[in-house]
Amino acid sequence: MVNKRATIHVTGIVQGVGFRPFVYRVAKSLSLLGYVLNLGDAGVEIIVEGEETHIQKLIQSVRNDSPSISRIDTLDLEWTDSQEEFKEFQIHKSSTIRNEDAIPVLPPDIAICKDCVNDLMYENSRWYLYPFTSCAACGPRFSTITDLPYDRPNTTMLDFPLCDTCNTGYINPIDRRYHAQTTACHNCGPVYHLVDNRGATIANTNPIERTAQLIDEGAIVALQGISGTHIATKTSNHEPIETLRLRKKRSHRPFAIMVRDLSTLKHLSHINELEEKILTSWRRPIVLVMKTTISLKK
């Protein structure tokens, strides 16, 4: 049987969403040879050689089974005879080549996934209580990008070289942090700290625990996170809410509230199936729901 070669160009949300590792795993499972790489215009190039039926299965999988966060806008395909150029399938170093007519689509910031939440809360995990944990399926994207293609040197993570242990996962094809550009841990990633209203660091304290205490005591705090700074205070305390309304000049417009989990939310509001689906999606947006008569103070 004569092998074929396919050159595939994909545009859409295909960088920073685990697309290349996905293509890599499918290509390897089909015994295909070639490579996948990011392009400078936010697209992806796949060059693959092998049996035509296997290449067709790869293309079908790319169209139908790509990571849920990805979005394919165009898939251009060119068939030629195999050049027997490759010995294996690899993720190649990204290219800076740009299609000047292409409109780059930047990957969005993605809410933390369940696997990373487990890492965060499991005491024996390397990422236990490390708030900046992420993987190929979640974490900041848009808010960290400084240039394209989407690779670590083109993000704000440039200043945080991977430690040996994180790098082991980064280069391991079966690891969910394979080629995850925001990979980090306690040893090599960003750190967090608490400062007072004059900008002085509050030392000798657990910043997250102390911030929680301050909120519980009625303080108003600023939380610098993905894509900006969030103002937070205790919703069941009337005084800081009124102070915040005065400072923000929002006498009537409602504030968004955070809840621990869906169980708590269902105690405070009436939510339907669609609202629940949106609230728990990778976007984690603010959603308007019908409140119950139960007071937050309870």
Q: Number of C-alpha atoms within 13 angstroms, CB side, residue 156?
A: 12
Whether 87 and 10 share a structural domain: yes
298: Cβ contacts below 8 Å, ≥ 6 apart:
none
How do 221-225 and 228-232 pair as beta strands?
Answer: antiparallel
Q: Judge whether 99 lies within some domain.
A: no
Whether 185 and 196 share a structural domain: no
CATH number of the CATH domain containing 132: 3.90.870.30
Determine the pLDDT at residue 204: 79
Whether 185 and 129 share a structural domain: yes
Q: Judge whether 98 lies within some domain.
A: no
Determine the pLDDT at residue 14: 96
Q: Judge whether 102 lies within some domain.
A: no
Whether 172 and 215 share a structural domain: no
Tell me what percent of the residues of the chain surpass a pLDDT of 90: 85
- The domain of 271 spans 256-298
Count of domains forming the chain: 4
Whether 60 and 131 share a structural domain: no
Q: Judge whether 205 lies within some domain.
A: yes
Digits of tens for pLDDT over the chain (298 positions)? 679 999 999 999 999 999 999 999 999 999 999 999 999 988 999 999 999 999 999 999 999 999 999 999 999 999 999 999 999 999 999 998 777 777 788 899 999 999 999 999 999 999 999 999 999 999 999 999 999 999 999 999 999 999 999 999 999 988 999 999 999 999 999 999 999 999 999 987 899 999 999 999 999 999 998 778 999 999 888 999 999 999 999 998 989 999 989 999 999 999 999 999 999 999 999 999 998 876 666 5
Whether 137 and 179 share a structural domain: yes
